[in-house]
Amino acid sequence: MLFVKHFVTCSRKITLSKLEALECHFTWVKETTRSTLLHRRVQLEDIGTDEGNFWLGSIYNLWGFVLYELGSNKEAHQYFRKATETLQRLRKGDEGPWLMVNYGNLAWLHHHLGEEAKSQDYLSKVEALKSKFPSPSQDDLHPEIYAEKAWTLMKSSKDNELLAADYFQRSFKMQPDMVQWQSSRVIALASAAKYWATDLSDDVLQEIRTAREQDPENLYVAAVELKERGKKGESVKDEVETLGQKILLQPVSSYSGLKPLLRLHRQQGSLDEAIVLTEEALEQHPDERYLKRCAALCYKWKVLKFTADRADQRTIERAIKLHEEVVDLYPDTSLVKKIDLAHVQAKSSQGRTIAYQMFQDLLARRDLDSGDKQLLYYNYARYLYFKRHNRNKSVRFYMKSAEIPNRNFYGKLSVKMLQKICKRGRSRMCPEIRTFLENLPEDNSE
């Protein structure tokens, strides 16, 4: 009996060791909060499941992992199986290296469910694929694995986008006929540059141009390329109009190219054209929540651009209505939408009290994780400064955001705002801010 128990224990340890060595979502994605998982699920829902999407198998793979982490084991299994079927259909083959990640996910899932025989079966399938489709060298992963790992990391965190771009580059160098990998690389690079507020190098700009030429059906890349050319001062007005009409003919998706095109309109000071485009899209698809989100974003840009006495009241009312709808349509990830609604309400004379109360309600919440708090405190600090003209209290909330460990984008922005206030030297709190910044612990996320 003891021998059998010892044998089972050893067997489970060997299985676990093999599972931990797999390249799949269970080993790639670590330390996920519930808030992050809910945002990821919403993100996947908004990408859509159009059959023409090259990444559909990867979408189902990540979706299955997110559902598992949220505690929905049965749904997770359904999505992993969808990934299997989709990859086989899109790649026109029952087996191939593109299934290694998917089989690894299924091996992990069955292990967690206590179904060791099924887990072992998928481990064997992974080993068989690795033998049949070896990686080009001992130090490299198979290009298919690099590509899916890159796509997953790109969707998992903004901080991972540059690493994702590197993995896409490795996969594309090994298999240069896969132009979709190159397209995804330049999307990751452009997104990282926007996130870190940096300019793209000439080499990257050339990569974007090449990606557009090689993958002409990818309207998202086309929009990114136009946006970068517009930033350089090129006249792209006619191309923007043509691309906008092409995008309206595509299935609704967060990767249709609409949002980077809207950002280009904002960049060029043509917000009215952006609003017209989103309203036209909503006329065609009145129930699509992603389009309402895009329209709300454009109206927010329009409203926040002006002081309250210059903003058109009808524009403010439309902005408020869209934001209220968006809050209801994204119940699991409504924090950002509620903050945006509060900022828009603050632009209306009738909504100032509502905006103040909305912020108080959000500050009273006890379910926010550290990332959510950094976002909220940063935005409340801006609201206090610009709408309540309470500069000292604004500084306090920048500090509250900045002092939270593992600073995210908003925590880092709060640090920059404090540094900016000190540099100006107009605040009586400058000595206190300097002391705060000097004593601020180094952040391991930076």
Residue predicted with more confidence, 31 or 420: 420
Residue 243 has pLDDT above 70, yes or no: yes
Residue 401 domain-assigned (yes or no):
no
Task: Give phi and psi for 34, each to the nearest 5.
Answer: -60, -40
Residue 118: pLDDT above 90? yes
CA 54 – CA 39 distance, rounded (Å)? 22
The pLDDT, as a whole number, for residue 4 is 40
With b for 16 or more beta-carbon neighbours within 10 A and e for fewer, the 340-356 pattern comes to bbbbbbbbbeebeeebb
Q: DSSP per residue over 44-91, as a string?
A: HHHH---TT-TTHHHHHHHHHHHHHHTT-HHHHHHHHHHHHHHHHHHT
Q: Does residue 83 fall inside a structural domain? A: yes
pLDDT score, position 7: 41
pLDDT tens for each residue of 78-104: 999 999 999 999 998 889 999 999 999
- 255: phi then psi, degrees, rounded to nearest 5: -110, 20
What pLDDT sits at residue 11? 54
The 10s digit of each residue's pLDDT in 351-375 is: 999 999 999 999 999 999 999 999 9
Q: Could you tell me if residue 209 is inside a domain?
A: no
Q: Is residue 19 assigned to a domain? A: yes
Residue 88 inside a domain? The answer is yes
Structural contact between residues 267 and 230, judged by C-beta atoms closer than 8 angstroms: yes
Q: Which domain holds residue 121?
A: 2-134
Number of independent structural domains in the chain: 1
Angle formed at CA 223 by CA 220 and CA 225, multiple of 5 degrees: 110
What per-residue confidence (pLDDT) applies to 194? Answer: 86
In this structure, what CATH number is given to the domain that contains residue 80? 1.25.40.10
Axis crossing angle, helix 56-69 with helix 143-156, rounded to the nearest 10: 50
The reply to whether 37 falls in a domain is yes
- Is residue 437 a part of any domain in this protein? no
Q: Is residue 157 part of a domain?
A: no
